[in-house]
Amino acid sequence: MGQDGRPFRIADSWLLILAAHPLKSTFVLALLVRLINIALLTHRDAFFAEQDAFGYWALGAALAKRETFWPTLLAMTDRMPLYPLLVAGIQHIFGDAPRAVALVQAVIDATTCALIAALGALISPPVALIGGILAALSVTLIVFSTQILTESLFLFFFTLMLFAGARFLLRPTAGLAVWAGVSGGLALATRPAIALLLGAAVPLVFVIALVQRRSVGLALAAAALFAIAAAAPIAPVLLRNVVYYQSSSLTSQGGTILPCGLSRW
């Protein structure tokens, strides 16, 4: 290594660069790891490790065709529509290529890792770097990013909601309330399991804004903005279910309803 300790200085320089740019470093590392993993998957079946993946792929294929788009979308009551629509868009551009979905999800998942680092940055840069690296190297996240499943897209929107919520907790603004609400609504449009959490978040937004801003009016406005923004992405789904199926449930799978819903499937 030499007496001048040059390798140690080089290592220290890289650590300083990583610490100075934890979000970019996390994104690049996460994307690189995921791209290498995808390159190692040589068989088509590797992208369909779970049975649900075949269902999402079939839905995407039907939604990608103009003649079957609306019938499929109207009849798709057992799943939320956002992920099948994403798969359909990728199939429309790249055709029958599950690897293309994995590549898109690699970018989405790498962005999620950067958001996790951003959450850590609200505490300190070292926490951001450590959290980002752990997320980038998470085997669970890496594996799910290659599967035709909702996990990667859902986690992206959920983490985005958490990041906006954390910033709202520090300094409540109308923009952050809308940001958190839209992110949560898009997560809900991907998987319905978050519905009750979003309902519970509305009074929490009110309390945070009230404590920080000392104004009931501003707190009510923030809670209302969050609720409206969260409801907007799933409004078309609810409207379809009410009009065509006389139900306020989000899906027929498990009977998920909004807190203000009336009936189950």
Q: pLDDT (tens digit, 9 = 90+) per residue, 69-106? A: 999 999 999 999 999 999 999 999 999 999 999 999 99
What is the model's pLDDT at position 214?
86
* Residue 19 confidence (pLDDT): 65
How confident is the model over 54-58, as a mean pLDDT? Answer: 97
205 has a pLDDT exceeding 80: yes
Mean pLDDT, the chain, whole residue set: 90
The reported pLDDT for the residue numbered 252 is 79
pLDDT tens digits, 149-189: 999 999 999 999 999 999 999 999 999 999 999 999 999 99
Domain boundaries, the chain: 1-149, 153-265
- More confident position, 37 or 247: 37
3-state secondary structure the chain: CCCCCHHHHHHHHHHHHHHHCHHHHHHHHHHHHHHHHHHHCCCHHHHCCCHHHHHHHHHHHHHCCHHHHHHHHHHCCCCCCHHHHHHHHHHHHHCCCHHHHHHHHHHHHHHHHHHHHHHHHCCCHHHHHHHHHHHHCCHHHHHHCCCCCCHHHHHHHHHHHHHHHHHHHHCCCHHHHHHHHHHHHHHHCCCHHHHHHHHHHHHHHHHHHHHHHCCHHHHHHHHHHHHHHHHHHHHHHHHHHHHHHCCCECCCCCCCECCCCCCCC
